Structure 1
Amino acid sequence: MKLTGVNEETLWNNVIAGDQQAFRVLYEASADMLYAYALRYFPDREMIMDCIHDLFTDLYLQRRNLARQVNIRFYLLVSFRRKLNASLKKNARFSFQADMSQAESYFQLTFEANDAQSRIIAKEEQQGALHRLAAEMNKLPARQKEILYLKYNCELSYEEVARLMQISVPTCRTLAYRAIRQLRQDMPVTTMPAFGLLLLTCLKNF
C-alpha cells in the first residue's frame, strides 16, 4: 500500500469525515495490496473483488464509528480477512476451505522480478540466487510464508502479524526465525554474504 506524499493520519481523518476524495485515494492505494493478499489463498478473483468492494462499502457507511488512531494497513487487512472468512463460509465452491484457518494451508507466494530489483542485484549469479531463494521460500510451511509476507511485504509489526493471524507474538517471532534459519540452510554458501539483501528483495517482489 503506497500513500506517497500523503499523511496517513490526515487521510484517515478525512475518510471518517466523509471526504470522497480521501476515500478514493485510500481505495486506490490499498485495493491492489488486499487483492494480492487474498489471491495467495484461493483463485476466485470475482469473490475477492466482491469482498474488497463490500469492505469499502462498509467502511464508508460506518465511517463515523471508526477509531481515529489506527494503522491503516493493519486495520484494512484485519477487516478484509473477516470479509474473506465470511464469504468462504457462504460459498459452496470452497466447501473444502470452511474458513480462513483452513485456507491458510494453501497460502502461496508468486515471485515476479522488476526493474528496481534488477538494478539492486545486477550480477547474473545473484539473479539466479534470488530465484532460488524464491523457490525455497515456497517450500516453507504456509504459516511461515504468510508471516514473512505480512512482515516484509505488507510492513506489519510482529505484534500486528500475530493479531491478524490470531497467534501469540512469541509464536510469530519463532515461526519467522525458523523460516529464515531454514532458508539460510537451504541456500548455497556462496550466497550467504548477500543473504539479507536477497531475502528483502525477494519478499518485496512477491
Structure 2
Amino acid sequence: MKAKTLQFKTFDDNTLWNNLKDGDEKSFSILFEKYYTDLVRYGNSLSPFAEKVQDCVQDVFTDIWVYRNGLQNSVVVKAYLLSSVRKRIARLHERDRIFRKATSTDTIAFLLEFSVENDLVDDDYATREKVVHLNKLLNDLPSRQKEALYLRYHQGLTVEQIAEMLEVNYQSASNLLHRGLLTLRKEWKGSFSLIFLLSLTAC
C-alpha cells in the first residue's frame, strides 16, 4: 500500500486530468486507482448500501471518461470527485425514495463513525480515557458538522471546496467547522493538539 501511495505521488493530478481529457486511458486508470477507495469510503458515509455506493463511484468515472471533452480544464480533482459522488448519491436517495424527495444534497446524513486510535496517541491510561471521550464527542456532533470536519481534516479540502460540496456559502461552511471545533475544544483538555488528533481519526 505504501509503495502504491508513493507511486501515485509521482503523478500530478492536473497533468493526469488534462491527459485523460485528451483521451489518455493510462491517466484515467491512474486517477481511478488513486481515488477509488477514498471515494467509496466517503460514499459509504452517505449511504448504507455498499453495492450502490460502488456503482455510484464507478458511474462517476464512467461519465468523466464518456464526457471528457466537455470537462473543465482547471479543477481540483479530489474535490471534484468527492462532490460528484455526493451529488450522485443524492440522486440515488431521491430516485429510490430512501429519504424524502429532495432537490439538493443537504438532506444526506453523514453516517461514518469517527475513532481516534488509542495506540497512535499514548499508552497513558488517563490519556486513553480522554480519547474515548473525544470519540464520543465527535460522533455526537450534528451530521453536517461531522461531515465538514471529515472533509477538512481527512480529505484536506479547503473551506471554499467544502462550501461548494455542501451547497452552502463560505460563511456557512466556516461556521460548521468552527462550531464543531468549539464543541470539541470545550471538552478536550488533553496534551495533544485537537487538530492533530482529528488527523488521526479513522472512519
TM-score category (smaller protein): 0.7 to 0.9
1:70 corresponds to: 75
Tell me whether 158-167 or 33-42 shows the greater mean CA deviation: 33-42
1:108 corresponds to: 111
Sequence identity (%): 27
Give how far 1:148 is off: 0.5
TM-score under structure 2 normalisation? 0.86
CA RMSD of aligned residues (A): 2.1
Give how far 1:54 is off: 1.1
- The structure-2 alpha-carbon separation of the partners of 1:185 and 1:24, relative to structure 1 and needing over 3 Å to count, comes to same
1:15 corresponds to: 20
Give how far 1:55 is off: 0.9
Q: Is the 8 A contact 1:184 1:192 kept in 2?
A: no
1:185 corresponds to: 186
Give how far 1:113 is off: 6.0
Give how far 1:97 is off: 4.3
The runs of 5 or more residues in structure 1 that have no matched partner are none
1:44 corresponds to: 49
Q: Is the 8 A contact 1:11 1:22 kept in 2?
A: yes
TM-score under structure 1 normalisation? 0.84
Q: Distance in 1 between matches of 2:192 and 2:52?
A: 43
- The structure-2 alpha-carbon separation of the partners of 1:192 and 1:22, relative to structure 1 and needing over 3 Å to count, comes to same
- The structure-2 alpha-carbon separation of the partners of 1:80 and 1:195, relative to structure 1 and needing over 3 Å to count, comes to closer
1:153 corresponds to: 154
Give how far 1:192 is off: 4.8
Q: Is the 8 A contact 1:108 1:138 kept in 2?
A: no
Aligned residues: 194
Letter paired with 1:131: V
Give how far 1:127 is off: 4.0
Instruction: Deviation per CA, 1:103-159: give whole Å up to 9, x if none.
Output: 2xx312324566xx845x233343443333222101011111111011111111001
Question: More helix by proportion, 1 or 2?
Answer: 1
2:196 corresponds to: 197
Tell me whether 135-144 or 33-42 shows the greater mean CA deviation: 33-42
1:141 aligns with 2:146: no
Give how far 1:162 is off: 0.5
Q: Distance in 2 between matches of 1:64 and 1:41?
A: 29
Q: Distance in 1 between matches of 2:180 and 2:114?
A: 17
Q: Distance in 2 between matches of 1:127 and 1:8?
A: 38
Q: Distance in 2 between matches of 1:101 and 1:195?
A: 27
Letter paired with 2:194: F
Instruction: Deviation per CA, 1:14-47: give whole Å up to 9, x if none.
Output: 1111111111111111111111112112210111
The runs of 5 or more residues in structure 2 that have no matched partner are none
Matches within 5 A, 1:155-174: 155-174=156-175
